[in-house]
Chains A and B, each alone.
Chain A
Amino acid sequence: MNGSEIIKIVIDTNVIFMAVYDINSKAGKIVSAALENKIMLFSTDTVKEEITRVLKRELNFSDAEINTLIASLPITWLDKLYYHDFISKTKVKHKADKPVEALSLALNCQLLSADAHFKNRAMVDKILASLNN
């Protein structure tokens, strides 16, 4: 990586939850790198909605608490308009996973997920190593 290039990554729900749960985890280190503007993180409106519903339904977060948590994440949320045309080009079989892969195709960047459904997902260790170089 040369100095002028910033790594762009599409991040999935499971990695986001891991990072929030433990900022010192590998996922947390990725999010910390985004807080320091060393990388750029993107995700979909579907992931944002998923997080919102989990927090509300499973953990009784208030709307204000959800907004605060989501605002604390250094993630740019992109809606369907950005990735819709790439849904048909995705390789992942599960319909629910397609938006995330489609966004990584639309942005031409790596996808970071803990979900084995994604055969082409990025390896967190590789990303962290590239940040240390």
Chain B
Amino acid sequence: MKTIAISEEVHRELVNIKLQERERNIAALISILVSDYKRKKLLEAGGLLKRKMSEKNLGFYDLLKSSRKIREEIADEWF
């Protein structure tokens, strides 16, 4: 177990959210918040991927096809 220092205000906010969400403790709540943050980052990455694919007029199948070609190229270079 590790301890982190947080302000009174952040502590109060966390306790309020813990009560609202009926989480068993702050550690469980923070785990959920971390997962949500990571999911948000992944969703943003997905949004960027789709935008770039649309700009390039590249379909998902085309992306996988290019990926396959690049895989062969890496294998030739690395092995």
Contact assessment for A95 and B79 in the assembled complex, using a CB-CB cutoff below 8 Å: yes
Q: Does A36 contact B (CB under 8 A)?
A: yes
The number of residues on chain B lying at the interface, defined by a beta carbon within 8 Å of a beta carbon of chain A, is 30
Categorize the interface residue count of chain A.
35 or more
Q: Does B63 contact A (CB under 8 A)?
A: yes
In the complex, per-residue mask of A36-62: 1 if CB is within 8 Å of any chain B CB, else 0:
110000000010011101110111110
State the majority secondary structure of interface residues on A: helix
Residues in A whose Cβ lies below 8 Å from that of B20? none
Q: Does B25 contact A (CB under 8 A)?
A: no
Chain A residues in the interface with B (C-beta under 8 A)? 13-14, 17, 19-23, 31-32, 35-37, 46, 49-51, 53-55, 57-61, 65, 68-69, 71-74, 80, 87, 95-99
Q: What's the Cα separation between A21 and B28 when bound, in Å? A: 29
In the complex, per-residue mask of B58-79: 1 if CB is within 8 Å of any chain A CB, else 0:
1010011011001111110011
The answer to whether A95 and B75 touch (CB under 8 A), given A20-B46, A23-B46, A50-B70, is yes
Q: Does B35 contact A (CB under 8 A)?
A: yes
Residue on A nearest B32 in the bound complex, by CB = A36
Q: Does B17 contact A (CB under 8 A)?
A: no
Contact assessment for A54 and B60 in the assembled complex, using a CB-CB cutoff below 8 Å: no
Residues in A whose Cβ lies below 8 Å from that of B67? 13-14, 17, 50-51, 54
Q: What's the Cα separation between A51 and B49 when bound, in Å? A: 12
Residues in B whose Cβ lies below 8 Å from that of A87? 79
Q: Does B13 contact A (CB under 8 A)?
A: no
Residue on A nearest B78 in the bound complex, by CB = A46
Q: What's the Cα separation between A46 and B53 when bound, in Å? A: 22
